[in-house]
Amino acid sequence: MAVVFLAAVALAAILSAYWLSGHEALADPKAHSTGGPALRAKRTPTTTATAPATQAATAPTKPWRPPRFTERRHQRRRMVRVIEGYALTDQSVLKAMTAVPRHRFVPRKHLSRAYGDSPLPIGYGQTISQPYIVAEMTRQLKLKSDSRVLEVGTGSGYQAAVLTEFTPHVYTIEIIEALATAAKKRLNRLGYTVVKTRCGDGHYGWPEAAPFDAIIVTAAAGHIPAPLIKQLKPGGRMIIPVGAPFAVQSLMLVQKDLTGVVRTRSLMAVRFVPLVSKSP
């Protein structure tokens, strides 16, 4: 009798564990934590009837969705076809370049040239970079949806907006106060609200937000600033034009391996405005 009773209890326990394993949908603890495309809450099979309550109770963070713009889309597509012509085929980069409305980042008087493949003046002797160079520098960073990225040289804010197509963890520094203020307002107005902006000298990086998976410097430096190397994570990548001001410079890829060893490689010749030490 006792044996029959124990067998019935055991069978009931097995059946209830089986039923719960199919119905207890636990939130994936990683879902919504990165800001990438929203991950669907996964049904995680449980092996016991007592699922850890804390996992199910974790409130998901709102995923980052960059703003979308329909105006001038055909012009952006044409610009992206030009970029593809340089044999740049990374679909995530091409998608990002198609999404960000470059015409909203250029001064009104240059609107008609917003989607040409050339840099344009943005005031104060500075420029918004050539679209192909923006695309190639972005590609070199190999961003993931949880990457932490620092940009030195906010300028118009365009490159920062492109970075948010990959990750919401974007920090950008601009040395000219008027540009920094205008870019901050522009980014917020357009909906790129995740970008953290700062006015200051980017030679020193952003120590409180470091370390970064990726650093992009959009002005030409005489040398690679030591604080930026320090603020790069092991396994991180930095892209930076190095060379004399107003000359042809070398676009350098700086990689820090997992043991902290730093290697640099020259990718191509470029021409950028100089990385200065004091606001002109």
Which positions are catalytic? 129
Cα–Cα separations (whole angstroms), residue 112 to 15, 59, 102: 69, 46, 11
Residue 184: CB minimum distance to ligand SAM, A: 13
**Which of 135, 185, 189 lies closest to 165, judged by CA?**
135
The minimum distance between CB 262 and ligand SAM, in angstroms, equals 21
232-242 and 212-217 as β-strands: parallel, antiparallel, unpaired?
parallel
Shortest separation between residue 125's beta carbon and ligand SAM, angstroms: 8
Nearer of residues 26 and 106 to ligand SAM, judged by Cβ? 106
Q: Which residue has the tokens 């679209």?
A: 131
Q: How many Å apart are CA 280 and CA 278, to the nearest integer?
A: 6
* Rounded-to-integer distance, Cα 225 and Cα 202, Å: 9
Residue 134 contacts residue 115 (beta carbons within 8 Å): no
Looking at the Cβ atoms of 83 and 275, the one nearer to ligand SAM is: 275
Q: Is the Cβ of residue 72 or residue 198 nearer to ligand SAM in the bound state?
A: 198
List Cβ neighbours of 80 (8 Å cut-off, separation of 6 or more). Answer: 94, 97, 98
Q: Are strands 232-242 and 249-256 parallel, antiparallel or unpaired?
A: antiparallel
By beta-carbon proximity to ligand SAM, the closer residue of 29 and 245 is: 245
Which residues lie below 8 Å from residue 21, measured CB to CB, with a gap of 6+? 45, 46, 47
The residue assigned the tokens 């040289």 is: 153
C-beta of 206: minimal distance to ligand SAM in Å? 11
Q: How far is the CB of 112 from ligand SAM (least distance, A)?
A: 18
Binding footprint of ligand SAM on the chain (CB under 6 A)? 126-129, 152-153, 155-156, 158-159, 173-176, 179, 201-203, 218-219, 272-273, 275-276
At closest approach, how far in Å is the CB of 177 from ligand SAM?
10
Nearest C-alpha neighbor of 158 from the set 200, 202, 201, 114: 114
32 vs 153 by CB, closer to ligand SAM: 153
For ligand SAM, the closer of residues 168 and 274 by Cβ is 274
Strand partners, 123: 126
DSSP code, position 116: S
Are 137 and 149 in contact by the 8 Å Cβ rule? The answer is no
